[in-house]
Every structure is written in structure tokens, then in C-alpha cells.
Chains A and B, each alone.
Chain A
């Protein structure tokens, strides 16, 4: 019996679930990296993805080559991430978590409003990579290319990230800062460099997510990726916020569940999906408040 028949789903649904799980895992890492060093839940993360998607649509409308669109997407998202860090995160770094959370809410809605003013509510099309929606036939089974590409890109990004965090000096410093920022600074770890690196990496991940997401959802509206961000945040909390690995697993799990249920449920019942997912989130948090993928009791680390 194969996994697909065991789960009562076809291969396409399973591949979709892996693809969406991969995308959500990348978003979870992006949110988790910044949380690690700043103790800040960046609610505006989805708007970075949105900005990237609009960049792709902008390039598509003008008929620019695909690589130019992707380059523009990365440029815009990374610039926006760094601007967020400089204008908001750094000045507010020593404030309470509530202040920082509200600040990221404000950024999220500000960016959304700007998108609405500039591009209107009808949305723009970013379809330069739509050929990835065509199927690949593997062993007689049709699977859409984007599902496999998403899962593969996510896996590749995660491997690079693991190497970066595990094998480089700045990676080690980022891990140390996430564990105990005060002591890390006393050892000479430059706070701004570590935070800047986390923000930069999280921006690169957001841009990657934007490229992958626009393939499946080419219509870019001001609320692009908003629902996904909320789901990923739930997944991150579900997995365990204090560890990058558990946060990533949480993101993957909720993406996989959303992708799987979205494909398995009959179309006329798919509107139940969010309520079902969030009911499951509440249930898990009641049973394991520290997170699904954490060991023992873990307390929030102090901020600097």
C-alpha cells in the first residue's frame, strides 16, 4: 500500500500538500529567524511576500524576462526588509513585545494600504512562471511541476540555511544570540550585524516564497499571502516558537494539512478548512502549550 492510498488521496493532492508544506516551512523559518534574535513576531511578513508578488506582476505586465522579474522581486523584498529593520525594529528593539507586535501590525496594514492605493483592489497578474502549472508524468502519474518545484526549492533553502547556521561564524553567532543575546553581546557578537543577517535571510526567504506562490495564485491583490501568514503564525506557535527547527516543522505541518485537506475535501466543503485548521490549533495548544515539536518545558528567553 502506498502512502497516497493509505491517506485516501491521489498523488497530486499529496504533492500539493508537500509543496504547500514546503512554502509554509520557508515562511516559518523567515518568521522564526527574526523572532530568534529580536523576540519579535513579525506580523508584516506576509506583506513582504505581497510586495514581492507585486514586483513579479509589475515585471510581467511590462513583458520583462522572467529572471528580471525574479531579480526585481528579490531586490524589492530585501530592500523592504532592511528598511523595516532600520526604521522600526532597531529603534523599538528595547521596547516591550506588545509595542513591537503592534508596530508590525501597523506596518502590515500600511503596506497593504499602499498596495491598494498604487495598484487598486482588482489585482494584478503575475503569470510569467505559469508554465510550472503543467504536469510532469512520473511513473504514469501526473503531478503539477510547481508542487515538486516548491518542495524541492524549500528543501534546498532549508539545507543551505542549516549549513549557514551550523558551519559559519555568523550562523553560530545568530544561534547564540537567539539563545542568550545579552551574553552573546558580552562576548563581542555585534547585535546589529546578527539582527541584520536574520532580517536579510528572512527577506530572501520571503522573496522565494513570493516567486513560488504567484505560480499557484497568479492574481496578486493587496491581501496576497495574508491568510497564509496567519496560518503560518499559527503553525509556528503550534510547533514551538523558541526553536527554529520546531517552528519550521510547525509551519510545514500546517501547510501540509492545509494542502492535503484542501485537496481531499470536496469543493463544496472547502470553506470549512480554515475553521477546522484553527480548531485543531486550539486543541493542540491546550494539550501542549509549549509547542508540538518541543522537548520538556521551555521558557521564553529574555530580550535585549
Chain B
């Protein structure tokens, strides 16, 4: 069966800088694939290339077997890929509900109920300005907003960044629930061990290349992780 999302020899360049050097991976429905690695490894560039926010220098990105390369970010979103961007990027001056309604801008669904059910805290704050929410609530809002579009593939760029440990638990539990609803999730994270434990498999990325693939049973194998980071 064709995977929901497939990266095939993906390369990204910024001028002379070769940020992503031929990544191949696949994410199936109902699966979380982790992408971990040090800063500047090319994790965010990979996600942005999938979204069409940076151009693909070589290789292919396929959604359900159809290429996304060369499409504009809004068209990738409308095709069924949702990104929870780094730093959350919620609209602080709009209300929580308006933020969620923007999730429906892709014209795919626009139904807020499921998102509210998954994140009761977001529902309770729906009339408030998004900027007045705590970091954890904003992160939940950012994920909820992505889900409103009813995507096939969910990309997350460091959703645990800057969050308190208890809030990270909430976010990771939500990801498990989203996975069980059949979405394909590509999760970029700095928290390597937690990601390896949660994901069906995790790829370690360094200098724009995949170094190692780990399964959840290897979450305790710190040596392998450290070796991959410094390879």
C-alpha cells in the first residue's frame, strides 16, 4: 500500500548551504514517525520542504503517491497536510475560536467539535484572545487548529519546546490519540528519548542525513542516541 507521506531522496539547499542531503522516509496512516537530531540538522527544513515553504532542490515528496513538489504552501495544506509550526505561530490578536476557524481555511473541514473534544482547555478559552493563553494552551491550540483542517498527514515542529514537563505529557498523550484516529504523523523533536518512546520509529538526523533509525524498545539506549548525535 502507498504510504500517506513519502520522502524520496529529498534535498534542500539555501544558496551554498546544503541543509537536507537526500532523506528518504515514509509515514503510514495511524503511525508516528519521529525525526530527531541536534540543532541545524535539517529537521525544520525537511518539514518546510514538505509544505512547499522552501523549494525542493532534488528528490520527491509524495502524499498518497502524488507529488507535492512545486506546489504552494496553501495548496499543500489544501491537499491534506497540516503543519504545527515551530514556536506555535498562533495569531495572538485573534480569539481562540478565530484561530481554530483559520484551520478550516484549507476548505477541507472547518469542524471545531473534534478539536474541542481532544483539548478541553482550548474549548474553555475559546472566547479569549489567543495571546492571553499560557504556552501550553497555545501549543494545544496550534495542534487543534491543524486538526480542524481534517488532514491526512500531521507535521509537528518541536511541539514540546519551552513547555513544562506536565504540559509535555498532555501534548504527547494527545499525539497518541491523534495517531489512533488514523492520521499519519511526522514529529520533529529535540526531546529525543520521549520521541523514540512514543514514535513507531524514529530517525536520527545529523548534517542533513539520516544516521540511524530507532524503535520504541530502544528508547533507553542512550549510547546509541548519543553516538548518532555526534556521528
Contacts and interface: CB of A to CB of B under 8 A. Distances in A.
B102 A179 contact: no
Contacts of B93: 179
Contact of B106 (A172, A180, A188, A191): A188
A189 B103 CA distance: 9
Given A169-B105, A172-B102, A173-B102, A186 B91 contact: no
Contact of A186 (B85, B94, B98, B107): B85
Contacts of B128: none
Interface of B: 51, 53, 72-74, 77-78, 82-83, 85, 89, 91-94, 98, 101-108, 145, 149
Contact of B107 (A180, A184, A188, A191): A188
A183 B85 contact: yes
B61 to A, nearest CB: 15
A169 B51 CA distance: 23
A187 B77 CA distance: 6
Contacts of B77: 185-188
B102 A189 contact: yes
Contacts of A172: 94, 98, 101-102
Chain A interface, DSSP helix/strand/loop, else mixed = helix
Contacts of B104: 169
Interface in A127-144: none
A187 B72 contact: no
Nearest to B106: A188
A180 B91 CA distance: 8
A75 to B, nearest CB: 30
Interface string A160-189: 000000000100110110011011111111
Contacts of B101: 169, 172
B94 A187 contact: no
A176 B106 contact: no
A244 to B, nearest CB: 12
Given A176-B91, A176-B94, A179-B93, A184 B72 contact: no
Contacts of A169: 101, 104-105
A190 interface: yes
Given A179-B94, A187-B102, 9 more contacts: A172-B98, A172-B102, A175-B91, A182-B53, A184-B102, A185-B73, A187-B77, A187-B82, A189-B74
Contacts of B105: 169, 173, 176, 184, 187-189
Interface string A30-47: 000000000000000000
Interface in A247-281: none
